[in-house]
Amino acid sequence: MAGSEIALEVEGLVKHYAIRGAAARGAVVRAVDGVSLRIVAGETLALVGESGSGKSTVGRMILGLTPPTAGTVRLFGQRIDDLDHRRMRALRRDLQLVFQDPYASLNPRMRVVDIVGEPLANFGLVPAAERRDHVTEILRRVGLGPEHLDRLPHEFSGGQRQRLGIARAIASRPRVVVCDEPVSALDVSVQAQVINLLLDLQAEFGLAYLFIAHDLAVVEHVSHRTAVMYLGALVEVAPTRDLFAAPRHPYTQALLASVPVPDPTVPRRPPIEGELPSAVDPPSGCRFHTRCPLAEPRCRTVAPPLRVVAPGHEAACHLA
């Protein structure tokens, strides 16, 4: 269960990419345009949105893989967005990543004992003589056995590889884990096993998760709170139960309308229409106005701020 200590805090995070070439005339892609988030210890915050919304870029900036254009990232109160490479590496003990594609993140020529043991060696956590036993215990924790110690990544199924990726991520006993679409490449039956593993590890170690995902059915199951991104900005943040029961932002309402429901007679809102506008030249006023069925004239000129609309529930809509 989530506590009250702030594990991860992001303030005004911005990422603009300059477009090269004479014709660009100083144009930038506004991938992320002022995102602020907090996650407390033991909590899962889901970050959702369409492809191109900027959610993965937020994750990469938090992990120090992409430098922010502006804004701050704090891990347990310590600012980490301005660290050099060496200090960022040291910090990885506390801040880890679970990838969407574990195969791409695992060295195909390294054996499991070395893949999972590497963080233990890098951070000097376990003497070399004890490392194999320690890795065996970590593997046990993620549902793999000692018979897997000397295998190579290609000898595993997709679900087992993700367990391996999780084993490596938790080896250093981090306190915050960024999970970037961790189950979207897996079969549905395997997804549930991996999600349950992540939930068990959170309960055991008090991990805070930033869970980046587009599958809302998974998000509803796994997260305490959900933040919705549209075209580089947050449009709604709320306890997951409240957000799914009573979404306040028309974009969230449209996203939820696209989630399959077992009972086809349940009345549904129309799904979202149209393409995501370009992040080079986002719409003026409310960025969602070009697709919003409720748009009013003021929506084209006045950007609605993210404001509290109910306890713990924020939305950026003039009508929320």
Place of tokens 């055991």: 204
| Residue 319 is a binding residue for ligand SF4 (CB under 6 A) | yes
Place of tokens 């290609």: 154
The interface with ligand SF4 within residues 47-76 (CB under 6 A) comprises none
CA–CA gap between residue 192 and residue 105 (Å, rounded)? 21
Shortest Å, Cβ 307 to ligand SF4: 11
Per-position b or e across 23-60, b if 16+ CB within 10 A of its CB: eeeeeebbbbbebebbbbbbbbbbbbbbebbbbbbbbb
Interface with ligand SF4 by CB under 6 A: which range of 25-33, 153-161, 184-192, 281-289?
281-289
CA–CA gap between residue 132 and residue 46 (Å, rounded)? 34
Is 181:10 a contact under the CB 8 Å cutoff? no
Helix then strand count (H, E) for the chain reads 10, 12
The interface with ligand SF4 within residues 295-314 (CB under 6 A) comprises 295-296, 299, 304
Of 226, 256, 288, 313, the one binding ligand SF4 by CB under 6 A: 288
The enclosing H or E element of 9 equals strand 6-18
Q: Which residues contact 16 (CB under 8 A, 6 or more apart)?
A: 28, 29, 30, 31, 33, 69
Interface with ligand SF4 by CB under 6 A: which range of 15-23, 59-67, 284-292, 306-314?
284-292
Task: State both tokens at 82.
Answer: 């301005």
Shortest Å, Cβ 296 to ligand SF4: 6
CA–CA gap between residue 161 and residue 140 (Å, rounded)? 14
CA–CA gap between residue 212 and residue 216 (Å, rounded)? 11
| Residue 283 is a binding residue for ligand SF4 (CB under 6 A) | no
Measured from the Cβ of residue 285, the count of other Cβ atoms closer than 10 Å reads: 19
| Residue 185 is a binding residue for ligand SF4 (CB under 6 A) | no
Shortest Å, Cβ 209 to ligand SF4: 28
Shortest Å, Cβ 51 to ligand SF4: 20
| Residue 201 is a binding residue for ligand SF4 (CB under 6 A) | no
| Residue 112 is a binding residue for ligand SF4 (CB under 6 A) | no
Of 61, 250, 252, 254, the one binding ligand SF4 by CB under 6 A: 250
CA–CA gap between residue 310 and residue 89 (Å, rounded)? 40
Shortest Å, Cβ 194 to ligand SF4: 34
Shortest Å, Cβ 259 to ligand SF4: 19
Shortest Å, Cβ 305 to ligand SF4: 10
| Residue 289 is a binding residue for ligand SF4 (CB under 6 A) | yes
Instruction: Catalog residues that contact ligand SF4 under the rule CB under 6 A.
Output: 249-250, 286, 288-289, 292, 294-296, 299, 304, 317-319
